[in-house]
Structure formats: C-alpha cells, structure tokens
Structure 1
C-alpha cells in the first residue's frame, strides 16, 4: 500500500515537472542541463541495491526522502550558480514544490502507519 501511494505521488510530481519543462523559459532550462552534466546530482549508497518491496515502511521512507533531499540540494546548487532571473525563479518554484511534496508524502505514509 505504501509503495502504491508513493508511486502515485512520484507520478504526480513527474507530471508537474514536465509541465515546467513544457512552459519554462528555454534559457532557464538550458542552465540545468549544463550544470547537471558537469555535476552529477545523486550520491549512490550501498543500501540502494535492495528492492523497495523487501524494506519496511520506515526504510522505504528514509530512502525516498533521501532521494528528494538530493534533488533539492541539486536545485539549491544550481540556483547559487545561475545569473538568469527566470532560472532562479523556476528553481525556487520547483524547489518549493519538491519540499512540499516530501512533507505531503511523509504525512500520508504516517497516516498509513496509524491505521
């Protein structure tokens, strides 16, 4: 049940980010690409090899939140390096969205654990 809930949230977040990709200033989007290529965003950990279905709810949430925090760190890093106002505005918006989605996911999963 937890994995289905998280999957739905991730799919929703993907659709929202795709909307930004379709509507954002191309200069802002190109800044991401260059920085992404030069600075890989994710730190691989040894515990990433275990499938989610083998983990309990606590460990699933730890991994999920960790991945989202790494994405937020990437947005923050890129924000500190760009000079284009539209890019800064877009990064702020997406970072806020990402932070709010983490909160919503954690609250939702906490409700599951209360059941």
Structure 2
C-alpha cells in the first residue's frame, strides 16, 4: 500500500488489526491444542475491538492531522506480520502465539511513537501520541488477560 498521509497510515494499521483478527479466528479452529484455540478465539475478539477503536480515531481525528503527509517511514521500517493467513497460528503453541501477537503490538506501538516524534504539527503529534497510549494500554490489558489464561 502506498501510504501518503497520516490518515492512510492509521487506516492501514486498522486494516492490520482486522487482518490479524481474521487470521487468528481462522486458525483457532485448526490448532490442535485446546488452550491455544481458546487463546486464538480471545485474541481474535481483541483484535476486532482494536480495529473498532482505531476506526474511532480515524473518524474523530483532526482533519488537519489526518491529511498531513507522511514521509516514507514504512519503506524503511515495515511492520512485519502474517499478511497472508497461511495458518501460521494453527501450528504455534500458546507461548508462540503470545510472542507473535505481542511482537505485532510492539511494532504498531513503535510505529505510532515514531510518527508522534516525527510529526511537525501539534495536531498530528497529539493524534499519534493518543494512538500510542491506546496501543500500550491495550497491550497491557491483553498481557494481563493472557497471563490469567496461562494460569489456568
């Protein structure tokens, strides 16, 4: 995807959450481990919620910030994820799934931080700082929930 504005970048991250939700859901039926299936179902629902939250940022974001040009960030620091769902999560155990999903969220948080740091107008900086805070808070909430699942 050729991303030219902060709005398109946010839309792209929304699509990443959506794609991950679909992939996790698809793989949940194929994983042989019961705990992993339960984790995949939970994570799929969480990613769908993340998609909804990011959509709200798009909808309510300052138009000046959303229209701000982004300068070639993704070509130098792409987010690495399973863009095609060839069932990667169906083959992973509980810990492997956790590592992959938390790595994905760390990459998105790093992207938001880099964009906040690089933003030249205050509205864009505030938007990406808010996205970063949301991503970090959701990652912490996810870690707590997954930790509880792991204790079972």
- Decide: shared fold, TM above 0.5: yes
Aligned to 1:64: 101
Please tell me the root mean square deviation across aligned C-alpha atoms, in Å: 2.0
Q: What are structure 2's unaligned runs of at least 5 residues? A: 1-37
CA distance in 2, matches of 1:94, 1:78: 10
Aligned to 2:130: 93
Query: Per-residue deviation at 1:89?
Result: 1.1
- Correspondent of 1:25 among 34, 52, 62: 62
CA distance in 2, matches of 1:44, 1:68: 10
CA distance in 2, matches of 1:99, 1:15: 16
CA distance in 2, matches of 1:75, 1:30: 16
Residue 112 (1) aligns with residue 146 (2): no
CA distance in 1, matches of 2:80, 2:149: 29
* Greater fraction of residues in helix: 1
CA distance in 2, matches of 1:84, 1:112: 42
Q: Deviations over 1:45-86 (max 9, x none)?
A: 9xx976101111111111111111111111111112112111
CA distance in 2, matches of 1:42, 1:24: 22
- Correspondent of 1:52 among 69, 76, 89: 89
Of 78-87 and 61-70, the range deviating more from structure 2: 78-87
CA distance in 2, matches of 1:75, 1:113: 29
By relative contact order (CA 8 Å, sep 6+), the higher-ranking structure is 1
Q: What are structure 1's unaligned runs of at least 5 residues? A: none
Residue 12 (1) aligns with residue 46 (2): no
Query: Per-residue deviation at 1:107?
Result: 1.2
Number of aligned pairs? Answer: 110
SS at match of 1:34: coil
- State the 4+ residue runs in structure 1 displaced beyond 4 angstroms: none
CA distance in 1, matches of 2:56, 2:141: 20
